């Protein structure tokens, strides 16, 4: 039985080093040097070449090298019945919460305005927005959403959430399902997207969603670029209905040089770096899953393929 790593070449060396550190005897192959395809039973992947997975007829698990699995499920040839495992990693959860806190504070402490004034050498004091007066609504109350919500609450923000199924998290008012979306949005001065990308959530940050937010709302998208309808964001910003946006993810990455977001004074761009996978911290759980599969156990953190996350 062998493990195959399918990841952009530039990142392969760190993965090999940290996976081998967990198990020096690991039969680890690195794409495209797969050896006989029938020997591969466990694949680690991030943005693999679509259509390639079907070549491995003895696959027992496909493991994502990120929290999301949308990059795997977009492959129409994922072998049916093979479990797909995602990552769950405390340091990545913490990193995402740091990012969300930074983005929220950047807006409420008016750093977005100061940045614009700086470029014009303009000295203009401006009162910050007080956390107790700012309602932050988090779309997605999973591993990332709940942690970010709890940390925002510690800073005094009024935090609420929205998920697919009803949640009972202490001190966190929340709504569930499409019927409750409007009510949730109506009370979100800052809207944070931490949803997985699925058929239901694709394009969810669109003009209808923006129209339901209070005037002056601020958008933070750290989930996936396909959640956002980019033209609708530009329209809502330019009409003045939205006050700004902080975006980590984009429909096309890297963001093309000619993209209008680059020049927009009220959009802050970060290059898909909210919470990067560190091969060192996640190698132990990947190798553990490999061992489990070899011993006939179900892998940990398996996603529901029907739900898409």
Give the catalytic positions in this structure. 224, 272
Q: Who contacts 175 (Cβ-Cβ below 8 Å, separation ≥6)?
A: 160, 161, 162, 163, 181, 183, 184
Task: Using DSSP, state whether 41 is helix, strand or coil.
Answer: strand
Q: Write out the residues near ligand NDP by the rule CB under 6 A.
A: 67-68, 96, 140-145, 162-165, 194-198, 200-201, 222-224, 248-249, 272, 274-275, 309
Q: HSE on the CB side for 134, CA within 13 Å?
A: 23
* Nearer residue to ligand NDP within complex by CB, 41 or 248: 248
CA angle 134, 139, 141 (to 5 degrees): 105
> CB of 64: closest distance to ligand NDP in angstroms?
9
Task: Using DSSP, state whether 36 is helix, strand or coil.
Answer: coil
* Nearer residue to ligand NDP within complex by CB, 28 or 44: 44
> CB of 41: closest distance to ligand NDP in angstroms?
25
> CB of 173: closest distance to ligand NDP in angstroms?
15
* Nearer residue to ligand NDP within complex by CB, 272 or 292: 272
CB 218 within 8 Å of CB 191: yes
> CB of 40: closest distance to ligand NDP in angstroms?
25
CA–CA distance, 58 with 37 (Å, rounded to integer): 8
Compute CA distances 65 → 13, 182, 210, whole Å.
14, 34, 32
Tokens encoding 273: 């770096």
* Nearer residue to ligand NDP within complex by CB, 201 or 243: 201
């Amino acid at each position: 039985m062998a493990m195959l790593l399918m990841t952009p070449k530039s990142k392969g060396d760190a993965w090999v080093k940290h996976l081998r550190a967990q198990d020096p005897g690991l039969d680890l192959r690195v794409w495209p040097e797969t050896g006989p395809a029938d020997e591969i039973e466990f694949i680690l992947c991030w943005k693999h070449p679509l259509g390639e997975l079907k070549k491995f007829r003895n696959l027992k698990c496909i493991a994502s090298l990120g929290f999301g699995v949308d990059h795997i499920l977009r492959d129409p040839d994922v072998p049916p019945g093979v479990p797909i495992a995602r990552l769950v990693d405390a340091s990545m959860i913490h990193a995402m919460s740091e990012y969300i806190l930074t983005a929220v504070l950047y807006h409420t402490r008016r750093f977005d305005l100061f940045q614009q004034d700086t470029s014009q050498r303009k000295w203009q004091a401006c009162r910050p927005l007080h956390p107790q007066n700012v309602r932050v609504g988090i779309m997605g109350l999973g591993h990332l959403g709940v942690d970010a919500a709890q940390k925002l609450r510690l800073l005094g923000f009024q935090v609420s959430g929205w998920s697919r199924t009803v949640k009972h998290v202490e001190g966190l008012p929340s709504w569930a399902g499409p019927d409750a979306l409007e009510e949730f949005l109506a009370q979100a001065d800052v809207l944070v997207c931490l949803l997985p990308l699925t058929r239901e959530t694709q394009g969810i940050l669109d003009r209808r969603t923006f129209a339901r937010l209070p005037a002056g709302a601020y958008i933070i998208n750290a989930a996936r670029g396909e959640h956002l309808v980019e033209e609708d964001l530009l329209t809502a910003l330019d009409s003045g209905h939205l006050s700004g946006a902080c975006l980590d993810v984009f429909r096309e990455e890297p963001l093309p040089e000619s993209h209008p977001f680059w020049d927009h004074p009220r959009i802050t761009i970060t290059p898909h770096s909210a919470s990067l996978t560190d091969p060192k911290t996640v190698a132990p759980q990947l190798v553990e899953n490999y061992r489990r599969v070899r011993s006939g156990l179900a892998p940990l953190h398996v996603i529901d393929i029907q739900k898409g996350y």
